[in-house]
Amino acid sequence: MTLRHMKIFVTVCASKSVTEAARKLYIAQPSVSLAIKELEEHYGVRLFDRISKRLYLTEHGKQLLNYATHIISLFDRMEMEIQNPDSVGTLRVGSSITIGNYFLPDIAKQYKRQYPHIDFYMVIDNSNEIEKKILSNEIDIGLIEGRTHDPHVKSIIFRRDELVLICGKNHPLAEKQFVELSELEDYEFILREKGSGGRELFDSTMMIHNVNINQVGESVSNRAIIKLVQSGMGISVLPYLLVEQEIKKGSLRKINIKDVVFEREFYII
């Protein structure tokens, strides 16, 4: 198998269409189909299921895509570094939104101070998207909240954190020091989007304890959620790091949940 086969295969996976892959690669459609057929014959497996004129990766296809993506990336990096010896390269780092807001700026500053000739490229998104970018080799390192979902991703804990239940200073819960977990069903929640590390931890805890939450809002912006909670539009669960100042100033109240602590880890992946 050649690098050309790998590039065609990866492009077909990204396009989910032989026709679209051919257009992107500026080659004839039969050439793309032939390359996929040769890959399947070479490895003796089916790489795609073809359903209603659409292509869906098989498990063997997913396994090959993981290897092919990194083989192509390694080749491209070799080409760049050999042809441009004066260019040292780029470190591509992705982080979750919380880590991006509170830790990544200092990390980037320290890294640039220590390695001034290396470009530091940053992507900030929710934890699920950062994991996807690692798998597709769009970034080299990720900093995320919570565990990874794919066995091909390696992870190391670098910090621990706690999520806290918060409400506005005029909310009915504001004067309570503790609430029972079951009481949360009586209140309206504004939460982070699905895919964020904090949201996954909260949802799994509620599911384990069979608590049904009344969600009235969702946002990718922690700051927007804080503003909404301050205005009395609902309650939320956010990292203590993000709301520490508002709690100290009194514009938010922290409520302890009896016998429940939302502890989590931050990972380098």
The residues with which 124 forms a beta bridge, in sequence order, are 95
Strand locations in 1-97, DSSP E?
Answer: 48-51, 54-57, 90-95
Tens digit of each residue's pLDDT (9 = 90 or more) over 91-139: 899 999 889 988 899 999 999 898 888 889 999 999 999 999 999 889 9
Q: Hey, how many other C-beta atoms are within 10 angstroms of the C-beta on 93?
A: 22
Query: Which residue spans of the chain are classified as CATH 1.10.10.10?
Result: 3-64
> What pLDDT, in 10s, does the model give residues 41-78?
999 999 999 887 788 899 999 999 989 998 988 888 78
Nearest to 170 by CA among 241, 217, 218, 235: 235
pLDDT of residue 85: 54
pLDDT of residue 51: 83
pTM, full prediction: 0.60
Q: What are phi and psi of 97, to 5 degrees?
A: -65, -45
Closest CA to 215 of 195, 190, 236, 238: 190
CA distances from 126 to 64, 101, 149, 192 (A): 26, 12, 14, 10
Domain 3-64, architecture per CATH: Orthogonal Bundle (1.10)
- For the 160-264 domain, the top CATH level (class) is alpha beta
